[in-house]
Each structure stands twice: as structure tokens, then as C-alpha cells.
Amino acid sequence: MVQTENERRQSSLWFRFHIDLPLLLGILTLMLISITVIYSAGGQNVDMVIRQVMRLGIGLGVMLVVAQISPFFYQKWAPHLFVVGIGFLVAVLLVGDMGKGAQRWLNLGVVKFQPSEIMKLSLPMMMAWFLSNYTLPPSFKNTIVGFTIIVIPTLLIAKQPDLGTSLLIASSGFFVMFLAGLRFRILIGLFAGAAAFLPILWFYLMHDYQKQRVLTFLNPESDPLGAGYHIIQSKIAIGSGGLEGKGWLQGTQSQLEFLPERHTDFIFSVLSEEFGFIGVLVLLAVYAFVIVRGLIIAVRAQEAFTKLLAGSLILTFFVYLFVNIGMVSGLLPVVGVPLPLVSYGGTSIVTLMASFGILMAIATNKRLLAS
Amino acid sequence: MRRKSYHIQDHSAEANLFTRRAIISFIAAAGLILVLVVNMFHLQINSYQSYQTRSNDNRIKLQPIAPNRGVIKDLNGKVLASNEPSFSLEIIPEQVNNMDETLAALQQIIEISEEHITVFKRAIKYRRRFKSMPLKIRLTEQEVAKFSVNQHRFQGVSIEARLTRHYPFEKYFTHAVGYVGKINKRDLERLEENEQIQNYTATRSIGKLGIEKYYESQLHGITGSENVEVNHRSRVLRQLDVIPPKPGADLHLSIDANMQKKAHDVLDGNRGAIIAMDPRDGAILTFYSNPSYDPNLFVTGISQTNYSKLLNSKDKPMLNRVSQGQYPPASTIKMQLGLLGLDKGLVTTNSTVWDPGYWKIPNIEVQRRFRDWKPGGHGHVDLLTSIKQSCDIYYYDLAYRLGIDSISEFGKKFGFGNFTGVDLYEESRAIMPSRQWKRDRFRQPWYKGDTISIGIGQGYWTATPIQLAMATSVLVNKGRVVEPKIVTGISQNGVYSETATKYREPVTIKNQRHWDAILKAMYETVNAIDGTARTAFAGAVYSSAGKTGTAQLFSLADDEEYEEESVAERFRDNAMYVGYAPFENPTIVIVVAVENAGGGGSNAAPIAREMLDLYFGLGLSGRRHITQQNDAIGVPSGTN
């Protein structure tokens, strides 16, 4: 008897260790790109490359561990985790450490961490749990409750203030609603509401430096040596890369340090300068591959909870890269979102890799239904 | 369990709904990625040229390279003005956040006096933007090391290796060679006017005085340029290409450094000037004004204290006494008057004047007595005696008979009352008085009495030592008028060329033998037993001729005796001497002026003697070979 595709996959070694091979390959490719560009952007600083490799290694470890956990564990504990996450966010506002003018870090004595990172995973879980408890598409009442669940952590994080992360978290919750079948009527109403909310955001919620960023985004050339410097230098780096780029380690904008935040938020500009339009297409192709793979996993998942969770996680991943690339190429204001898996740095890699771990767990944990 | 069963029932509908939504999401994401791609295409393909240019503008800076300034050398090739490599601590004020804090922090590391800081703060006001300004120059190696360790703390502060102008002979050549100083606002305006500003983009110093100023355009050279790659802090990383600068021309003087030092030594303690010049081509052999000062002080900006010390000194060291010192020429111009008298037929070589010790204007009721320097007078005086003994009565009489118009006209031909044309901007015309001059100056007519003291080179008549050297050369050259010049050779790109000798309209007289009569009288002054310069030149191994002069600065009443001791030092007589040697085929004309020293015969002539002794002792007499210039410019030689 011929094995079905499912059976063949499920019997493979990868499957047994809860690894989705295409997704893993996509992630490893991105990591390879990351190391290559960071070596150049960091001025051939080997220590920096080693630190990034270690971080990516830890990320891979986290991913593998998380992949072993059954998604139903999250389903069971989602509300509890959400409540704990909210608790942390309140705590960080009360006793958090300051960093760059914002309270983001919570010091637990042993570890310092950003509670907003937990919320990146916890909110979509909570939403998926809540909506999958009822029939889909969600009723009007459940829609209201759903938005309330989204708004609470969003406002708490915006208050830190960390506008970039709060928007990313809000969108992760929104994606669950959307994938669950949020009616288009409500969607349109929502956009109208958001438009109405903008003035409130501008006048009451945004800090001066955030307003400045938006103004600079609207007209970067107005202040070429001041606030507009970042974006102008970034566009020069990208534009001067041309079709084929200036070559690895040859980007004058990055090597001569005209480009700020080269190895973190603006790493895409370094890649564009040194590898040109072709390099950009390759990177975007890898990202597209990862996203498509994530969506396939979501579609193939057999439970509403896992579908919603997987879909939301991969779409949030897309938002990350879209916001980052949009920002460094002048389409969006500078909000301080790293390029996922490529930028040099910290907790966000661990969180991202944990979310890929959850995706892999969903891909490889099947409650076989009777056919 | 109503909810659960309902859930299971609708499972496949939910899955379809989710799949639709996933597909919509995919399409939206693909659309947004396409937006990114289109934007990247726009930046990297469509606008590539523009961003490429801007990227290069960021990293490539065109930097001017200053040319090496030409050096200045003396007769023997000794360097009088050189370029010394030195390290200087420089600041670009635009890159410094808090200047006071930075300066205070620098003072912790390197010894910088308040004086330096004051000078620096003043200097940065007059400067091109984003141009670095030296705070302290000539750093020691230790200071360089100390700063280098701390460099990271000082944004906009750096140590630069530069060539700095240096004058190894310090005060000896100041008034001739001059000095360079920092380019200031006024210099910039002048450069702008002359359309030279582009050539000075990398230059920090400019000639401010003397030869350095007069020959600025030759000394400076042509600025080169280089394209360099810089980082975001404008630090130069490497050179991409270069157009080398063309160094300035080297200047050669005929001044001998030993003579110059000697001039300083013999004038030490006095105010005065010595100039020696080759009568054949006007080449200046000695050019010294005392007191002098160290020009190196000005190269990097003189401190206020030092500057006011120079400015307020009553000895006026900054005055160039050689070309700006206006002295009554006194008896040193008697030869020219005697010559004019001969030419006009008012005297002959044999005619005499009776000198009882005073002279009165004939046919005038109110009589003022003009006195001879010698109480009791010289008795019967002819032209030769009038020069060798410097008789005043002879020239009161002669001047009275010549009248101011012809004296003035004749004097101007010898160069009095006008610039000599020497290659310096620091020159005074002095005064060759005339009726017109007096009307312009005092709104008064010329009185006959005014002419009398003109006869002995006093009254309104003043002359600079360089004018006297030129006028004496005219006698030596028998009418040929040669303009003095300090720079006698210029070498550009290794090619040496002599500077042109400039002639003026010659002085012509009817009888050429009259020149010889005058020159013989000058010879007698030095060599006759009763010559006024006899004592000073006794025993000289060379033949020379000359004329002493004693200029009264203090008017005595008719019956008053001049007593040196009782007259305040500043009102004592100026001692003057003009002379030349050897008597046959002269190669040097010398002029000595010593302020408030007393009589010329005893105070100026001995100085001239010392200078000439050295000149011949060093063998300088045969050193310069003058290729004879076009004779047509000289004196027509057939009328005698």
C-alpha cells in the first residue's frame, strides 16, 4: 500500500523530532545572511560575529525545545500566561528599569527581560484560545471582547513607551481576529475608528521624540544633519548599491560609518548597499519562502486554535520585516523595529525563535482525526 | 455541551473560512512585498546615479594642498627665511561643542598659556569656516605624545604636521625680509579682489611685511589638490588622486648676512639705519634698521603683550628707518647743490665765497644771522673746500642764488621726495620741498629765508637713507639713475634669473668734468688732511670717498651756542654719512644715519668705516659681476 504524503512525513526522523525542514532551512538561510552582513556592518569585528552566532545558536536551541511542547499545552495555559504577562507589564510600569527614556526592562534579580516579549507570544495565544472556544466567525459580542483583550496590553506597552512593539503586538492580536473571520464591515469600521484615533495618539500618547520621528519621516531633507540624517544616509546607502551592489565589505556608506545603527535597525541598508538590488530580491525571496511555509503550516493545522495561532505568528513575522524594510527605505517612519533574524541583537531573536518553535510544534503535532 | 457539538459540526466550514482568510493574508503580504520591491527598484535602479553621486560626495573630499613657500637666501646662499616642519595643536571651532571646556581640558594635558588662548580666540573670529586654527605650534615630542593618548576626548582637536616659516637670523633681517603672518580678514578681502582666493584655500600664512609681502605672488606658489576618502568624522583615510602643488620661487638677495650682523653690532645702543648698495645695478648689500625685533614672533600670531611692547617702545623698533625714516639730509646733499651751482654757472671750481662764520640775506632790513657750524668761519672757501670741510656759508649763499625752484627740480632728479622704487611697500617719500609743496602743506607762500636752510639740507627737506644711497649713486654713476633693489635673483623650478635693473631718466649736466670735481671733493673729504672724514678713515686699505652730515634737530637762537651736554638726548644732532668705495670703479655706496648721536664726522663716518672694512675684508668688492646694462640708458658720453 502506498504511503500517503502525511504518513510519509509523519514517519520521517525530522517529524519525530518536531522539526519542519523547509522552515528550518529558511531560518538557517536568514541566519547565514545575518552573520555575513553583520561581519561587514560591524567593521569586521569578529567578537560581534561570535556574539551573534551564540545568540542565534541559543535561539535555535529555544526553538527546538519549544517545538517539543505540544500546542495543546499552550491552549490549556493561554489565559494564565496572558494574566501573568499583563501582571509583568503593570510591574514594569511601576518598577521597571529605564533605558533610552523608556521603561521596558524588568529586573528579576537573576534575569533582566522585557515583559513585552512574552506578550508577543501570549496575546495571539490568548486570542486564539478565546475565539476558538466559540464558533467562527466570531459574534459581535466576541469581537468586542477580543478587541478589549488586544487593547489592554497594547496600551500598557505604549505607555512604557514602546510604540513599535505595541503596534506589533496589536497587529498580532488583530491577525487572529482577521483569520478567525472578522467581518469586513467591522474591519472597515475599525479603520475608520483608527483614523479617528490618530489625533488622540498624536496629542496625548506620543512622546516628543516619537513625534519628531514621524515629522522627519514626512520630510527627512528638512533636517539633513539632525533627525533626518539616519533616513537620508540610509537611502543613499540603498540607492548607491545599484543592481549588483558595491560588494561585500565594500559599502562606503557603512564602512566609513556614514550610516548609523548599521548592525542593528539599519542592517538592511548595509545589505542593499553591498549586494544591490539582486541581494535585496534574494533576501525578500527567502522571507517570502518562510512566510509561505508558515501559512501552509497554518492552513494544514487541524484545530482552530493552532490555525489561528500559527497564522498570527507568521503574519506578525511578516509585519516585522515589512516595517523594518519600509522604515529604512523611507516608506515608513523610523520606529526602531529590527529586521527579523538578521539584525544584531537581543531578546527579540529568542522570542522570534520561540515563535518558530511553536510553528514547528503545530506542524508536527497532529491529533489524528478519524477520517 | 452545546457549544462543543456545534463546534465539531462546523469544523470544515471553519477550515474553509480560515483558508480563505489565509489566502487573503497571503495576497496582502505579497502585495506589500511587491511595494517594497518596487520601492527598492526605484531607489537602486531608477535613482542609482543620483544616490551614487551623493554617496561619493559623502566619502570623497577634494582637499587643497598648500604649496611650499619659496625660501629667501642671502648673497652666500644662507637661508634667511625657511620652512620648518613642526607639529601644531589645531582646532576646528565648528566641531567643538564647548570651546571653553575644551580649552580648559587641553590645558590640563599640555601647557598652554592664557596668552595663547587669547590670541587663539581673537584669531578664530577672522577665519574661514571649518578651517582649523592652530592653538599652539611647535609642540615638543612629549606634548604630541601626551595629546595623542587623549585624542579621543577631544572632538575637533587634532595635531597637524605643517611647515612653519622660520627666520633663523631673527632680528637681523626683519626690515628687509619682513615676515609672514596668519591670513586675516583684510588679507582675504585683498585676495578676493585680486582673484587669488582660490589659490590660498590651503594656505595659512601670507607675507605681511618686507620682501615676504612684496614678492608674495612669487613666493607663494600654486596650490595643488587631492581627492581623499574620508569617514563620517571627516578623518582622511586614503588618497585617491592628486594634483601636486607647484612650490613658490626662491628669492636671492645680495645682502650679506655678515654685513647685516655687523650693521647691528655697530648700531647697537643707537637708533639709526645703515644701507649699502651696489651703484652699478642698485643691488642692496646691507639693509639694517636699529632697533630691530624678532620676526618669528609674528609668524603664528604675536601676543598682545609683545605687540604693544613693540608698538609703544619709544625707540620705535617697527619703523623701517632705512626706507621710512625721514631725516634731514644735512650736509650729505651739498654735492648735488654744488653740482647744480656749477651747471648753472653760479660758481666755478675756482670761485670762492667769504665765510666770516655767519651769513645774512642781502638787502633785507631785519637781519637774521645764519651761522656756520664752525665759529669764526672758514675764510675764503672754494667748492672743493666747501665739501671737504662742509662749509655752510658757501651753501647758504648758493641756495639763495639758486632759488627753491631749481633746487627742488634738481633734487627730484636724484630721487628726493619720491619713492626710490625699492621692492618694499614700507617706503616713505620724505620731503623735497617746493613752493607748491609748502602751499599745499601749510597754505603759505615760500619765503626766501626758507631756501637758506635748504642749502645745508635742513629746514623742510627730509630724506630717507635709501634715498640718500640712490642720490649718492647718481653722483658715483655720473648721472645714471639706478633704482635700488633688494631681490637680485629669482629661481623658479631650478631656473635662476636675475631681476631687471631699473633705470630712470639720467641726470644730465653741460660739462661732464663737473662730476669729477664733485667726486674729487668727496675723495678729499675722506683723504685730505683737513677732510671731515679723515680721522674716521685713517689707515684704510682701500680708497673711498664720502661726505659727513650733522643734522640739527634743535633750533638755536642766533646767539646761542650748541652744547651737547645741555641738550636733551632726543634733541641732539643726527649723525649722517654717505660714502662709496673703491674710489675708482666703485662697487659700494654706503649711507649711515644715527639718531641723536652728534656730529657725522665723529659718529657716523667711523661706522661707515667699520662696514667698509668688513666689506673689503670679506672680499665682497670683487664678488658681484655686473653684466653692463644697455649703455643707451646711461649717460651720453661725448659731451666732455
Same domain, B447 and B593: yes
pLDDT class of A313 with cuts at 50, 70, 90: very high
Q: How does the average pLDDT of chain B come out, rounded?
A: 88
- pLDDT value of position A347: 64
**pLDDT higher than threshold 80 for residue B51:** yes
Rounded Cα–Cα distance for residues B575 and B551 (Å): 7
Q: What is the pLDDT of residues B455-508, one digit of tens each?
A: 999 999 999 999 999 999 999 999 999 999 999 999 998 899 999 999 999 999
- pLDDT value of position B614: 96
Is residue B3 in a domain? no
pLDDT class of B555 with cuts at 50, 70, 90: low
Residues of A in contact with B52 (CB under 8 A): 239-240, 242
Rounded Cα–Cα distance for residues B274 and B321 (Å): 9
Q: What is the pLDDT of residues B628-637, one digit of tens each?
A: 554 444 444 4
CA-based nearest distance A249→chain B, Å:
15
Distant-in-sequence, close-in-space partners of A353: CB < 8 Å, separation ≥ 6: A27, A59, A60, A62, A63, A66
Q: Does B496 touch chain A (CB under 8 A)?
A: no
- pLDDT value of position B524: 95
Residues of A in contact with B235 (CB under 8 A): none
Q: Does B233 touch chain A (CB under 8 A)?
A: yes
Same domain, B168 and B284: no
CB-closest option in B40, B50, B54 to A329: B40
Which stretches does DSSP call E strand in B122-245? Answer: 133-136, 157-166, 180-182, 205-207, 224-230, 236-243
- A133/B22 Cβ within 8 A: no
Report the range of poorest mean pLDDT among A175-184, B437-446, B621-630: B621-630
Residues of B in contact with A139 (CB under 8 A): none
**pLDDT higher than threshold 50 for residue B5:** no
CA-based nearest distance B158→chain A, Å:
19
Say if CB B423 and CB B487 are below 8 A apart. Answer: yes
Q: What is the pLDDT of residues B522-545, one digit of tens each?
A: 999 999 999 999 999 999 999 999
- pLDDT value of position A272: 96
- B14/A304 Cβ within 8 A: yes
CB-closest option in B29, B44, B232 to A257: B232
Residues of A in contact with B17 (CB under 8 A): 136-137, 181
> Could you report the predicted ipTM of this complex, rounded to two decimals?
0.92
Please identify among residues 113-152 of chain A the ones whose CB lies closer than 8 Å to any CB of chain B.
Answer: 133-137
Mutate to test the interface with B, among A229, A232, A256 (most CBs of B within 10 A): A256
Range of the domain at B202: 62-253
More confident residue, B509 or A348: B509
Same domain, B128 and B169: yes
Say if CB B483 and CB B244 are below 8 A apart. Answer: no
Is residue B231 in a domain? yes
pLDDT class of A348 with cuts at 50, 70, 90: confident
Same domain, B283 and B411: yes
**pLDDT higher than threshold 60 for residue A110:** no
Q: Does B443 touch chain A (CB under 8 A)?
A: no
The C-alpha cell 627665511 sits at B81
Q: Does B7 touch chain A (CB under 8 A)?
A: yes
CA-based nearest distance B166→chain A, Å:
38
Same domain, B334 and B374: yes
Same domain, B488 and B410: yes
Residues of B in contact with A308 (CB under 8 A): 18
- pLDDT value of position B126: 67
Distant-in-sequence, close-in-space partners of A36: CB < 8 Å, separation ≥ 6: A248
The conformational region for residue B138 under phi > 0 = left, psi -120 to 50 = alpha, else beta, is left
Is residue B41 in a domain? no
Measured in degrees and rounded to the nearest 5, phi and psi for residue A206 equal: -85, 140
Rounded Cα–Cα distance for residues A157 and A159 (Å): 5
Q: Does B35 touch chain A (CB under 8 A)?
A: yes
CA-based nearest distance B203→chain A, Å:
28
Q: Does B38 touch chain A (CB under 8 A)?
A: no
Same domain, B399 and B342: yes
Same domain, B232 and B314: no
Chains A–B, number of C-beta pairs less than 8 Å apart: 140
Cell of B516: 669729477
Q: Taking residues B208-213, report their average pLDDT.
A: 96
Please say which residue of B253, B283, B312 terminates a domain: B253
Residues of A in contact with B59 (CB under 8 A): 252-253, 256, 258
Same domain, B489 and B437: yes
Q: What is the bridge-based pairing of β-strands B358-359 and B353-355?
A: unpaired
Q: What is the pLDDT of residues A179-203, one digit of tens each?
A: 999 888 888 988 888 888 888 878 8
Say if CB B46 and CB A240 are below 8 A apart. Answer: no
Q: Annotated catalytic, B331?
A: yes
Q: Does A178 touch chain B (CB under 8 A)?
A: yes
The residue annotated as part of the active site, out of B254, B331, B390, B453, is B331
CA-based nearest distance A320→chain B, Å:
12
Same domain, B83 and B108: yes
- A136/B45 Cβ within 8 A: no
Percent of chain B scoring above 70 in pLDDT:
93
- pLDDT value of position B122: 78
Measured in degrees and rounded to the nearest 5, phi and psi for residue A254 equal: -85, -45
Which CATH number is B602's domain given?
3.40.710.10
DSSP string, B395-419: HHHHHHHHHHHHHHHHHHHTTTTS-
**pLDDT higher than threshold 90 for residue A273:** yes
Residue at A94: amino acid letter: L
- pLDDT value of position A225: 61
CA-based nearest distance A69→chain B, Å:
24
Q: Taking residues B23-28, report their average pLDDT.
A: 95
- B17/A242 Cβ within 8 A: no
**pLDDT higher than threshold 80 for residue A108:** no
Please identify among residues 347-366 of chain A the ones whose CB lies closer than 8 Å to any CB of chain B.
Answer: none
Rounded Cα–Cα distance for residues B396 and B313 (Å): 38
CB-closest option in B18, B44, B50 to A272: B44
Q: Give CA B373 to chain center in angstroms.
A: 38
Q: How does the average pLDDT of chain A come out, rounded?
A: 87
pLDDT class of B452 with cuts at 50, 70, 90: very high
- pLDDT value of position A368: 45
pLDDT class of B388 with cuts at 50, 70, 90: very high
- Greatest distance between any 2 Cα atoms in chain A: 71
Same domain, B235 and B354: no
Q: What is the pLDDT of residues B147-183, one digit of tens each?
A: 888 888 888 888 888 889 999 999 999 999 999 998 8
Q: What is the pLDDT of residues A164-173, one digit of tens each?
A: 788 889 999 9
- pLDDT value of position B99: 85
- pLDDT value of position B463: 95
Which of B601, B514, B100 is closest to B339 using CA atoms? B514
Q: Taking residues B22-38, report their average pLDDT.
A: 95
Residues of B in contact with A242 (CB under 8 A): 44-45, 48, 52
**pLDDT higher than threshold 70 for residue A102:** no
Is residue B35 in a domain? no
- pLDDT value of position B1: 37
- B50/A239 Cβ within 8 A: yes
Same domain, B310 and B365: yes
Please identify among residues 61-90 of chain A the ones whose CB lies closer than 8 Å to any CB of chain B.
Answer: none
CA-based nearest distance B49→chain A, Å:
7
Which CATH number is B246's domain given?
3.90.1310.10
pLDDT class of A109 with cuts at 50, 70, 90: low
- pLDDT value of position B368: 79
Mutate to test the interface with A, among B18, B48, B231, B238 (most CBs of A within 10 A): B18
Please identify among residues 260-319 of chain A the ones whose CB lies closer than 8 Å to any CB of chain B.
Answer: 272, 276-277, 280-281, 284, 287-288, 291-292, 295, 298-299, 304, 307-308, 311, 315, 318
Q: Taking residues B327-353, report their average pLDDT.
A: 95
Q: Does A177 touch chain B (CB under 8 A)?
A: no
Q: What is the pLDDT of residues A40-91, one digit of tens each?
A: 998 889 999 999 999 999 999 999 999 999 998 999 999 999 999 999 999 8
Please say which residue of B193, B226, B253 terminates a domain: B253
- A299/B231 Cβ within 8 A: no
Residues of B in contact with A136 (CB under 8 A): 10, 14, 17-18
- B35/A331 Cβ within 8 A: yes
Count CA within 13 A, CB hemisphere, residue B364. Answer: 12
DSSP string, A50-66: HHHHHHHHHHHHHHHHH
Give the number of domains in chain B. 2
Report the range of poorest mean pLDDT among A329-338, B1-10, B413-422, B505-514: B1-10
CB-closest option in A241, A304, A311 to B44: A241
Question: Which residue on chain A is closest to B6 by alpha carbon?
Answer: A135
Is residue B21 in a domain? no
Rounded Cα–Cα distance for residues B389 and B532 (Å): 6
Q: Does B14 touch chain A (CB under 8 A)?
A: yes
Residue B419 Cα distances to B281, B454, B593, angstroms: 17, 20, 18
